[in-house]
Structure 1
């Protein structure tokens, strides 16, 4: 009996020692974004992309002989929640982060990630200052920054719409105000008159005061800076009050929810977004994987997030390490075959080699125009 007890005790000690070792043996990748709240339609597709890429690589045996573990944190795209989410990811000992997805939370989280010496790759945070001038050397993104988006939308406004007077309506956030400001700078240099530069409160129910100003100044084009929920309300109320002016927005407007919310009112709305790469085999694979796993078409930012996860895991594989310096070197050196095309990162950490196009809402769909640029 004594020998049996001794053997059981030894076995229990063995289990208690091996369990943490097994848990530590996974490669943890953090995913931070809006997984609930008003902007969940932006964050959930990115989380879905991470799940799919990780499941696929684990099915092949993982990376470096280790399984990959997803660790997610919800910041609802709110800077005040982002620092707590980032802190939890750091305490969970992730080796890199995919996200955050919004510019405000990204700006709030980066000092914490940098103190912990963690690389983060955002699929959708576009504020230029996040990568320019080397302010955040451990931050990269798989989406065009607002400077690139503004160059494209301003070019369209000048050369295709031939606008002389432009009104700017934005949500006063880093992303929205930044996009509006960048367009204003370029367009004013091109001789376009600014007739209104107005901030709205995204959660407001009634945008009538702003719409009355728009009717009074009679712009040729309205540049909107912000996300889909505010854009949807603004367009609906504009059309209700017979303001038919074309609205031009950033990638946050090109969302299926915008089309569903606005219906026929969306007709003619323009937005920048990654170039259509649906003919690529990698795109088809990523799309089919989402439909199989979740029973629906992928949403906003899904393919950018898929590409970000691919880049992180390829860096682990090619560097043979989870060391941050080695991962960063691999990320800057490698080209990755993604659903968006062959992705690389420039010296600032911005995506290079990918296309960016203007899309127009027509017949309940966003249709790609031939107005586009290649990111460098």
Structure 2
């Protein structure tokens, strides 16, 4: 179907035949960093859900009901996450997109689980969120840290022929998990760990860490964390004439990172979903953002767009927001999204999408010929 609008057409058909009063809206909660240092991660996801909702509503809604977006800001801070989650529950949302960061997701999921709410994160990557089995109502449209580590470690071992590795992380669920997983795989592959250290995210001066890196003489620095810390580290390294290659997870592949680091970012590697910009659904999602906000989408936008599509597809097919039915439908059906055709495995992880390695070349992240498909 043109522009990948099968979901919306189905929603429109169901809207025409439904007997439910339109005033009874379907409430989608969106939790994430909508302000603060990590707003560049959270705001694109909120924009994505708003755009999908507007498009569905313009065609009559789902099941004759309009889709209402209710946002709660947790600034990607676990201590704010429980309050944000509690507010969404009290607002009687039917489903949740988010949280976007792993720490707040870990803090919020017990509350959503108790309330019987399906939550789908576009960007929370800690493996235990799905692999522990503690969160059967949780899904995500992003690769977990294990998948990212498999890709990055294979790239370092087999493409870059790395022998000595330094690991830096922000000590958060997301950052330390990425560093830990890479360390296990790299050491298994024969690479030596010459430094493994946590850094303070709020620090301004990383010169002491750079001195440790200089003494350790690694072939590459593996960083686990988000772009604000990555930006400061890379700038400090280059300022002190330490040109060791630098690789990070998807949180590094962000336009803000490029703006913050400028020419210092040249050569930096990061993992990220494989480029799907040739897909009609991707083009439609991009055009919708440019039209609505006058700019290119930011980090996590397409993941959140896909999450909203998957939720609304399940709601349309099951006739409402009954949790048990939604859970079954999410696992039983594949949905065409900007990231490709997505389905969810028994754990709740997205299957069918692919990850690639990107490198900054001439001020832009360029996809390299090194990828993996999620199962």
Instruction: Give the TM-score range, shorter chain.
Output: over 0.9
Residue 272 of structure 1 aligns to a residue whose secondary structure is strand
- The equivalent residue for 1:227 is 226
TM-score by length of 1: 0.94
- The equivalent residue for 1:355 is 354
1:47 aligns to 2:41 (yes or no): no
Per-residue Cα deviation, 1:348-371 (whole angstroms, up to 9, x for no partner): 000000010000000000000010
Check 1:23–1:56 CA distance in 2 against 1; reply closer, same or farther (3 A cut). closer
1:203 aligns to 2:202 (yes or no): yes
- The equivalent residue for 1:121 is 120
Residue 166 of structure 1 aligns to a residue whose secondary structure is strand
Per-residue Cα deviation, 1:268-308 (whole angstroms, up to 9, x for no partner): 10000000000000000000000000000000000000000
Residue 368 of structure 2 aligns to a residue whose secondary structure is strand
- 2:59 and 2:331 mapped to 1: Cα distance? 25
- The equivalent residue for 1:343 is 342
- The equivalent residue for 2:79 is 80
Stretches of structure 1 that go unaligned for 5 or more consecutive residues are 1-20
- 2:304 and 2:312 mapped to 1: Cα distance? 12
- 2:217 and 2:211 mapped to 1: Cα distance? 10
What are the within-5 Å matches in structure 2 for residues 132-147 of structure 1? 132-147=131-146
Give the deviation of 1:185 after TM superposition.
0.4
Per-residue Cα deviation, 1:48-73 (whole angstroms, up to 9, x for no partner): 00000000000000001111100100
What are the within-5 Å matches in structure 2 for residues 65-214 of structure 1? 65-214=64-213
- 1:325 and 1:343 mapped to 2: Cα distance? 20
Check 1:52–1:313 CA distance in 2 against 1; reply closer, same or farther (3 A cut). same
- 1:36 and 1:182 mapped to 2: Cα distance? 30
Residue 295 of structure 2 aligns to a residue whose secondary structure is coil
Alignment RMSD (CA, Å): 1.0
- 1:103 and 1:189 mapped to 2: Cα distance? 26
Q: Is the 8 A contact 2:172 2:225 kept in 1?
A: yes
TM-score by length of 2: 0.94
- The equivalent residue for 2:26 is 27
Per-residue Cα deviation, 1:324-359 (whole angstroms, up to 9, x for no partner): 001111101110000000000001000000010000
Give the deviation of 1:150 after TM superposition.
0.2
- 1:23 and 1:169 mapped to 2: Cα distance? 52
- The equivalent residue for 1:278 is 277
Give the deviation of 1:133 after TM superposition.
3.4
- 2:124 and 2:165 mapped to 1: Cα distance? 25
- The equivalent residue for 1:12 is none
- The equivalent residue for 1:18 is none
- The equivalent residue for 1:309 is 308
- 1:291 and 1:371 mapped to 2: Cα distance? 29
Moved runs in structure 1, 4+ residues, more than 6 A? 21-24
Give the deviation of 1:374 after TM superposition.
0.5
Give the deviation of 1:218 after TM superposition.
0.4
Residue 70 of structure 2 aligns to a residue whose secondary structure is strand
Q: Paired residues, what number?
A: 356
Give the deviation of 1:320 after TM superposition.
1.1
Residue 66 of structure 1 aligns to a residue whose secondary structure is coil
Residue 268 of structure 1 aligns to a residue whose secondary structure is coil
Residue 134 of structure 1 aligns to a residue whose secondary structure is coil
- The equivalent residue for 2:14 is none
Per-residue Cα deviation, 1:121-172 (whole angstroms, up to 9, x for no partner): 0000000000003121000000000000000000001001111100000000
